[in-house]
């Protein structure tokens, strides 16, 4: 790699690695270490072909998706996520609510199958059209639609608290019992 290409690659990594890492974390089910490995491998592969790449971000994202597909085809055992400190300890209510929503979402995504998680990340986080998701995953558009539908239904089952945390109330949560505290006088 010549000096100009090396500078271009470094600049790309500096500016886009955080966004790419977020995608990798979602694809890996919230396991940051696996996500970092996934991103590093994708960047290594991209660096080897850097002078031939027209759209670097699309190319690296494609590598991320394909590596994730390869990982879940191997059926690696799931690893437990352990952390030394609680995440994001801000005091204001909005920040704690957002942090709680992220934790619940991460846990719910981790309980989905890798294929379901990948479809949801590509379709809703990456905001890709169904046809693009189908092309990336090597399946039909109908498979993407049905997998997304079943995955969202499973998310609602696994984490019904998502509806309450996000503030969105639909027919299922409107009929749920209300557990808000009330004042009781003797």
pLDDT, one tens digit for every residue, the chain (186 residues): 688 888 888 898 898 888 899 988 888 888 888 889 889 989 999 888 888 888 888 888 888 888 888 776 765 555 555 666 766 554 555 666 777 777 888 888 888 888 898 899 889 888 889 999 999 888 999 999 999 999 988 988 888 877 665 555 444 444 555 555 555 555
Answer for the pair 122, 128: CB distance below 8 angstroms, yes or no.
Answer: yes
pLDDT of 130 reads 92
* DSSP states of 103-129: HHHHHHHHTS-HHHHHHHIIIIIS---
Say which residues have a Cβ less than 8 Å from residue 115's Cβ, sequence separation at least 6.
72, 137, 147
For residue 173, the model assigns a pLDDT of: 43
Query: What is the SS3 assignment for 1?
Result: coil
3-class secondary-structure state, position 15 = helix
pLDDT at site 141: 92
pLDDT for res 156: 85
């Amino acid at each position: 790699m010549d000096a100009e290409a090396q500078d271009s690659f470094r600049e790309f990594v500096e500016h886009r690695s955080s966004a790419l890492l977020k995608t990798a974390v979602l694809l890996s089910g919230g396991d940051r270490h696996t996500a970092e490995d996934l991103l590093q491998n994708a960047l290594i592969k991209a660096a080897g072909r850097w002078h031939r790449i027209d759209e670097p971000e699309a190319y690296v994202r494609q590598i991320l998706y394909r590596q994730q597909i390869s990982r879940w085809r191997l059926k690696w055992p799931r690893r437990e996520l352990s952390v030394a400190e609680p995440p994001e300890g801000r005091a204001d209510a909005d920040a704690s609510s957002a942090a709680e929503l992220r934790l619940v979402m991460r846990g719910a995504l981790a309980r989905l199958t890798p294929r379901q998680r990948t479809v949801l990340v590509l379709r809703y986080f990456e905001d890709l059209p169904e046809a693009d998701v189908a092309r990336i995953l090597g399946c039909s558009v109908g498979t993407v639609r049905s997998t997304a539908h079943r995955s969202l239904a499973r998310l609602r089952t696994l984490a019904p608290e998502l509806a309450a945390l996000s503030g969105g109330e639909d027919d299922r949560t409107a009929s749920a019992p209300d557990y808000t505290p009330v004042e009781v006088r003797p």
